[in-house]
Amino acid sequence: MKLLIIGGDAAGMSAASRAKRNMPDMEVTVLEQTADVSYSACGMPYNIADPHRDMNDLVVRKADAFREKQGIELLTGHRAEAIDADGGTVTAVTPQGKTAVFPYDHLILATGASPVFPDVPGRSLPGVMALKQLEDGRRIKEYIKSRQVASVLILGMGYVGLEMCEALRARGIQVAMVKPGPDLLPWMDRSLAQVVSEELAANEVALHTGQTVLEIREQGRRLSAVTAAGILEADMILSAMGIHPNSALATEAGISLGPENSIAVDKQLHTSRPHVFAAGDCADAYHVVTGQKTWIPLALRANRAGWAAADVVCGRGADIEGVAGTAVFKVFNLEVARTGLSMAEAHRAGFDPVSATIRSRSRAHAHPGATDLHVHVIGDRISGKLLGAQMVGREGAAHRINAAAVALHAGMSVERFSGMDLAYAPPFGPTWDPLLTAANQLVKQLRS
């Protein structure tokens, strides 16, 4: 049996390794268009923060290890160009520029996602960059070093952009952020988002909301982003406006798409074409709260989906669990976490959402080192079901959010969640865990 995989990062290499583990005699070939495989992309901002670290520190496993230890035919520098789903072949371009055709019995698309750039003049100028692949990280570090970058303008205010604020400020670089929308983290409760905004201000990050970049100009060694409100100048511009799924190959092969033009898959990762699967950032998923299709590209789902797709190919079957959108990121000294739906998302999904927001403490009363912990929880007025949770604090948010995520996967009501037996000790939280306090407040709201 021939298994062909397009894409050699999280989902792709997880699928390849799992398939060889399940069926050592299977012929597994991976086409990866870059020179890098199996690396920790989420660690790139923290690597950039340290000028002395090598970006290759983030490589989890080198390509030769897959080839020599597992017998995977891993072909780096091979760019897939077309899929013939009827004939069971993929056409690719080799590093030498030649065309090669690869037959398959089963195909897994793990093509990932690409960064969004503003569709404006000057978007391709040197110094306008994005951070998605390992080579992007290398390029950014080299540019900062060679150009002695002193200021960076970040387009967008999402997870990666906020993490890069900290990385750049750690190197003494001035940072400003700009976005068209009026709000920082629009999915977040406004009182929690204000805490994040104050943390950015305390670390001298300038926020320019409600401004659309119309053009990027080069002026000597500096760049200018032109908006209706004026001109924002910097030595480098980082586009952190989000990502979009790499689904063009699938579209051209007649494969159906889902939300945000991601590749539509069922719970066993089948696409609309026989023997073709998709996993990772290029594919959609089912949301555990709504039961509806969604596209939430995160690392754990990519690795888990790669495993599941390989299991199905090997005849083992897999009914992969959906996603709750659980995420956590660091903004200087703050932990910012979320799981499930926001109020706006809950409304769009057809719920009648009610929320409660509290400010608690990260440790027991009077225990040294305690800091504020802000918690926002959402429930459905009609069913009483827990719909989502958000947390911001200097400690205690990152791992605490997992309790709410488990409750969402279990389909718990707010009342049942409020009765959970959570751990307590003074160094780690109050007797009533902040999540439980918030849930108790939400129960009152739902009953009123």
pLDDT in tens, 326-369: 999 999 999 999 999 999 999 999 999 999 999 999 999 889 99
- pTM confidence score: 0.95
Does residue 6 carry a pLDDT above 90?
yes
Which class for 275: exposed (0-12), middle (13-18), buried (19 or more C-beta within 10 A)?
middle
Kindly state the average pLDDT of the residues 144-151.
Answer: 97
Largest CA distance in the chain: 70
pLDDT tens, residue by residue, 111-130: 999 999 999 999 999 999 99
**Cα 396 to Cα 379: distance, rounded to the nearest angstrom:** 22
Mean pLDDT of all residues belonging to the chain: 97
User: What pLDDT does 301 receive?
Assistant: 96
* pLDDT tens-digit series, residues 224-282: 999 999 999 999 999 999 999 999 999 999 999 999 999 999 999 999 999 999 999 99
CA nearest to 112, candidates 322, 279, 326, 313 = 279
Exposure string over 326-352, b if 16+ CB within 10 A, otherwise e: bbbbebbebbbbbbbbbbebbeebebe
Q: Is residue 309 within 8 Å of residue 108, measured between CB atoms?
A: yes
Tokens 């440790």 found at: 363
Question: Cα separation of 6 and 287, whole Å?
Answer: 25
Question: Interhelix angle for 159-170 vs 190-202, to 10°?
Answer: 20
Q: What is the mean pLDDT of residues 89-104?
A: 98
Spatial distance between the Cα atoms of 5 and 250, rounded to a whole number of angstroms? 13
Q: Is the pLDDT of residue 318 over 90?
A: no
Q: Where are the alpha helices (DSSP H) in 43-150?
A: 44-48, 63-70, 134-147
Annotated catalytic, 165?
Answer: no
Rounded to an integer, the average pLDDT of 66-77 is: 97
pLDDT at residue number 372: 97
- Among 42, 165, 282, 314, the one annotated catalytic: 42
Confidence of residue 319 (pLDDT cuts 50, 70, 90): confident
pLDDT of residue 317: 82
Share of the chain above pLDDT 70, in %: 100
Instruction: Write the pLDDT tens digit of every residue in 410-447.
Output: 999 999 999 999 999 999 999 999 999 999 999 999 99
User: Does 290 score more than 90 pLDDT?
Assistant: yes
